[in-house]
């Protein structure tokens, strides 16, 4: 009895004894287990009354549950149901205790990651405590990262991504569901609101997993793309900023990351106690502040935009947001939607033609944020955009921005925007309008001259026929360039680069090993396509070509055309016959692997011999295809530096004095052990001669008699003695 009472009153001691010898103390554990079940039943009736006892028992059982797995098999599910059913009624300490014990059970393998994440995901939007919310967030992210550390855990990823999809879709449906009187329907779970918190947390977690490199697949992009069309503006903003590559302040509500006040940090360091650790902490904070300052210029997330599923529908949905929510959204939000829509249109070569009609009403020089709108407009144009849709836009730009009644900066911005549009679709320009625009190259403003000359140089290269003969330049007049027809892409593949290297390599290998060149079965071993399992057809399919009209001529008339084609593909350096390997052999995956190695070797050898490493770097970085983007600086052009006012000049002076010793003379107070000023005798030694010539001391010395001089000399000798 004495031991039982002692162990009942001291659960940490019983926990220690059970971990040492589980079988000897099983009866005591079962006693506590029955006590836990009784309190749990009472807790369902009155949660606030038994919260204290429940926390102690739950912590105790979580620590020793691994010693009795058969008896505590349903313990994790019981904790999960307690959190889910009674979460709004629990006090903050009980919530945190239950969540921490669930994490402990996961670390002891008493529950799987899927079971833990299914319990934690619904808690994020329902938690008001910042510390508990941060703990749940870090637990979810760390658990997913550890599960995908060595290799991708596809089963876990599919389940988690399905939950994130559900959170975004569920929040979207709940926010848009209205009854007949215009009031929102009651929520299905207490503690949730229609403010988009559930969808917001799904977007935040997906963005964090993408940023850490845990998820880099198209499903993650689809989750965030679904958030771009969410009815709540803050969810839209967080999702759109992911594709734009910019950080949003909505994600940092838990970590409370604010701008670092450098002046306040230095002032606090001056008044506090001087220690080395304090200096190191100050230096670390200043270093982090400098890093954040340089991190502001974020690059667009092009890989995520390229992974978008059905970009045409995605772009149309974005335009519907602009069109139907015109009065609800502020201008800043509409501008970021325009930016994302323009980049999707540019990268995927899609066309949302109504966008150009919509954006015309924002094209006047007094419009707020007009440089960003002009950049988005120019970014949306590509070679597949119909020219007749762009003609009204260019005409509107010329009427509003390029005329003598506006400032020179406005004229430069208008011409630069027209140039960026014409660079992507040259057929949208009218001949008369082009002649008027290039006349601005005679202006006195540097930005206007630069913009007009760049437009003139562009059409000298792409379509000099629109220019007058005297404006075409020397090269365009001698050899005019043929304009590229509408719809023709410059990225069409005409030849596989490095195919001749592969042909020579295969001939060498086959000659040395004596292998039949037609036998490619060994090259297909260990190369299984993902679509081979779903394919129903087996073997080759005989295709009847019918009565083809293909005519093969062996005449010599085609030789000059072939030579010109070869010269165009090889750059004109050396005329070599193209490789016929692609027309006589089916290239296997192993052949393409060898081709990549041969291209890298050829690129590296040419780099060593010629000193040009640009070709090698382009080969290695072929996977990261960076698309050209239009920025505000491209629209505004070179700007004249404005004259600084008094506040700006003083701020520049203060920045120059940072990290520098106090300026001033080093004499007097600063050079002495005891601070004091200099005496008059010391100052008199450094007086200029012209200042002391008329003084009484000098004049009396010049007029002194011989007797007075002798007396002074004797006094001086006696003082020295």
Q: pLDDT tens, 369-395?
A: 999 999 999 999 999 999 999 999 999
The mean pLDDT of 305-324, rounded to a whole number, is: 93
Cβ proximity of 466 and 387 under 8 Å: no
d(CA 207, CA 673): 60
Q: How many CB atoms lie within 10 A of CB 329?
A: 17
pTM: 0.68
Residue 554 falls inside a structural domain: no
Exposure string for 275-298, b = 16+ CB within 10 A, e = fewer: eeeeeeebeeebeeeeeeeeeeee
| Choice among 21-25, 350-354, 482-486 with the minimum mean pLDDT | 482-486
Give the pLDDT confidence score for residue 525 in this predicted structure: 57
Residue 30 falls inside a structural domain: yes
DSSP 695: S
d(CA 604, CA 598): 10
The mean pLDDT of 111-138, rounded to a whole number, is: 91
Give the pLDDT confidence score for residue 490 in this predicted structure: 64
Give the pLDDT confidence score for residue 685 in this predicted structure: 84
Give the pLDDT confidence score for residue 503 in this predicted structure: 82
pLDDT digits (tens, 9 = 90+) for 165-184: 999 987 666 555 444 443 43
Give the pLDDT confidence score for residue 56 in this predicted structure: 87
Length of the chain: 721
> Facing residues of 178 across strands?
184
Residue 482 falls inside a structural domain: no
CA 548, chain centre distance (Å): 53
pLDDT digits (tens, 9 = 90+) for 599-658: 877 765 554 444 444 444 444 444 344 456 888 888 988 877 778 888 888 988 888 877
Cα dihedral angle (136, 139, 143, 144), rounded to 10 degrees? Answer: 50
Residue 664: pLDDT band with limits 50, 70, 90: low
- Structural domain count of the chain: 1
Residue 55 falls inside a structural domain: yes
Residue 456: pLDDT band with limits 50, 70, 90: very high
- 116-119 long-range contacts (CB < 8 A, ≥24 apart) are 116/143, 117/143, 117/144, 117/159, 117/160, 117/163, 118/80, 118/159, 118/163, 119/80, 119/83, 119/84
Give the pLDDT confidence score for residue 176 in this predicted structure: 54
Of 581, 576, 554, 549, nearest in space to 565 by CA: 576
CA angle 344, 375, 419 (to 5 degrees): 110
Greater pLDDT, 234 or 300: 234
The mean pLDDT of 429-441, rounded to a whole number, is: 93
Given a cut of 90, whether residue 514 has pLDDT beyond it is: no
Say which residue the tokens 């947001």 belong to.
321
Q: Which tokens is 494 given?
A: 């005409």
Greater pLDDT, 296 or 504: 504
Phi-psi region of 431 (alpha: psi -120 to 50; beta: other; left: phi over 0): alpha
Given a cut of 70, whether residue 574 has pLDDT beyond it is: no
Give the pLDDT confidence score for residue 627 in this predicted structure: 53
pLDDT digits (tens, 9 = 90+) for 213-233: 899 999 999 999 999 999 999
The mean pLDDT of 470-488, rounded to a whole number, is: 78
Residue 667 falls inside a structural domain: no
Q: Which tokens is 378 given?
A: 């120019």
d(CA 459, CA 514): 57
Residue 340 falls inside a structural domain: no
Which percentage of the chain shows pLDDT scores above 90?
Answer: 36
- Give whichever of 186-190, 250-254, 410-414 has the largest mean pLDDT: 410-414
Give the pLDDT confidence score for residue 236 in this predicted structure: 93
Residue 531 falls inside a structural domain: no
Given a cut of 80, whether residue 331 has pLDDT beyond it is: yes
The range of the structural domain enclosing residue 97 comes to 1-111
d(CA 33, CA 39): 10
DSSP 534: T
Of 242, 335, 264, 252, nearest in space to 292 by CA: 252
Greater pLDDT, 303 or 269: 303
Residue 162: pLDDT band with limits 50, 70, 90: very high
d(CA 112, CA 557): 74
Residue 299: pLDDT band with limits 50, 70, 90: low
Phi-psi region of 584 (alpha: psi -120 to 50; beta: other; left: phi over 0): alpha
Residue 79 falls inside a structural domain: yes
């Amino acid at each position: 009895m004495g031991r039982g009472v002692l162990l009942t009153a001291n659960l940490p001691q019983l926990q220690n004894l059970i971990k040492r010898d589980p079988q000897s103390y099983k009866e005591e554990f079962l006693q506590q287990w029955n006590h836990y079940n009784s309190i749990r039943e009472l807790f369902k009736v009155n949660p606030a009354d038994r919260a204290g006892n429940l926390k102690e028992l739950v912590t105790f059982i979580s620590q020793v549950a691994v010693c009795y797995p058969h008896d505590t098999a349903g313990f994790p599910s019981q904790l999960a149901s307690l959190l889910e059913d009674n979460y709004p009624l629990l006090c903050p300490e009980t919530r945190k205790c239950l969540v921490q014990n669930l994490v402990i059970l996961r670390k002891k393998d008493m529950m799987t990651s899927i079971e833990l994440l299914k319990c934690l995901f619904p808690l994020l939007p329902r938690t008001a405590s910042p510390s508990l919310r941060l703990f749940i967030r870090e637990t979810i992210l760390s658990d997913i990262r550890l599960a995908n550390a060595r290799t991708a855990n596809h089963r876990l990823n599919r389940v988690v991504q399905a939950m994130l999809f559900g959170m975004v879709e569920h929040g979207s449906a709940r926010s848009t569901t209205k009854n007949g009187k215009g009031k929102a329907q009651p929520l299905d779970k207490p503690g949730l609101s229609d403010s988009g918190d559930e969808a917001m947390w799904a977007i935040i977690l997906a963005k964090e997993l993408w940023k850490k490199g845990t998820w880099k697949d198209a499903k993650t992009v689809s989750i965030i793309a679904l958030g771009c069309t969410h009815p709540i503006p803050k969810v839209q903003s967080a999702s759109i900023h992911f594709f734009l590559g910019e950080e949003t302040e909505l994600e940092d509500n838990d970590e409370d990351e604010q701008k670092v006040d450098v002046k306040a940090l230095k002032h606090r360091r001056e008044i506090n106690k001087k220690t080395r650790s304090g200096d190191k902490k100050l230096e670390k904070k200043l270093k982090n502040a400098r890093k954040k300052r340089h991190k502001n210029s974020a690059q667009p997330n092009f890989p995520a935009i390229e992974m978008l599923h059905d970009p045409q529908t995605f772009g149309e949905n974005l335009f519907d947001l602009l069109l139907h929510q015109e009065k609800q959204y502020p201008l800043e939000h509409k501008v970021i939607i325009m930016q994302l829509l323009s980049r999707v249109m540019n990268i995927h070569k899609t066309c949302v033609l109504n966008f150009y009609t919509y954006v015309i009403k924002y094209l006047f020089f007094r419009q707020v944020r007009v440089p960003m709108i002009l950049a988005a407009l120019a970014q949306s144009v590509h070679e597949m955009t119909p020219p007749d849709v762009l003609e009204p836009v260019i005409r509107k730009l010329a009427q509003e921005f390029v005329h003598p009644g506006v400032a020179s900066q406005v004229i430069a911005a208008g011409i630069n925007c027209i140039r960026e549009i014409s660079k992507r679709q040259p057929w949208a320009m009218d001949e008369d309008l082009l002649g008027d625009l290039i006349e601005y190259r005679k202006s006195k403003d540097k930005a206007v001259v630069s913009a007009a000359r760049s437009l003139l140089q562009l059409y000298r290269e792409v379509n000099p026929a629109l220019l007058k003969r005297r404006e075409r330049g020397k090269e365009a007049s001698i050899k005019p360039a043929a304009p590229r027809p509408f719809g023709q892409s410059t990225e069409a593949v005409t030849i596989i680069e490095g195919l001749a290297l592969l042909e020579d390599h295969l001939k060498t290998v086959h000659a040395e090993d004596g292998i039949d060149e037609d036998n490619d079965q060994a090259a297909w071993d260990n190369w299984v396509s993902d679509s081979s399992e779903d394919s129903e057809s087996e073997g080759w399919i005989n295709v009847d070509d019918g009565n083809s009209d293909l005519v093969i001529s062996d005449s010599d008339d085609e030789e000059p055309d072939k030579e010109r084609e070869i010269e165009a593909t090889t750059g004109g350096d050396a005329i070599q016959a193209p490789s016929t390997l692609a027309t006589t052999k089916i290239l296997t995956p192993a052949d393409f692997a060898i081709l990549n190695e041969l291209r890298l070797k050829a690129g590296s050898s040419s780099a060593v011999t010629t000193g040009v490493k640009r070709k090698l770097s382009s080969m290695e970085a072929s996977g990261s295809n960076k698309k050209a983007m239009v920025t505000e600086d491209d629209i505004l052009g070179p700007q004249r530096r404005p004259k600084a006012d008094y506040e700006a000049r003083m701020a520049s002076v203060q920045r120059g004095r940072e990290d520098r010793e106090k300026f001033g003379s080093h004499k007097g107070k600063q050079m002495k052990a005891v601070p004091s000023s200099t005496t008059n005798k010391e100052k008199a030694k450094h007086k200029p001669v012209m200042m002391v010539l008329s003084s009484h001391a000098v004049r009396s010395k010049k007029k002194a008699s011989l007797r007075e001089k002798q007396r002074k000399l004797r006094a001086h000798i006696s003082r020295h003695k």
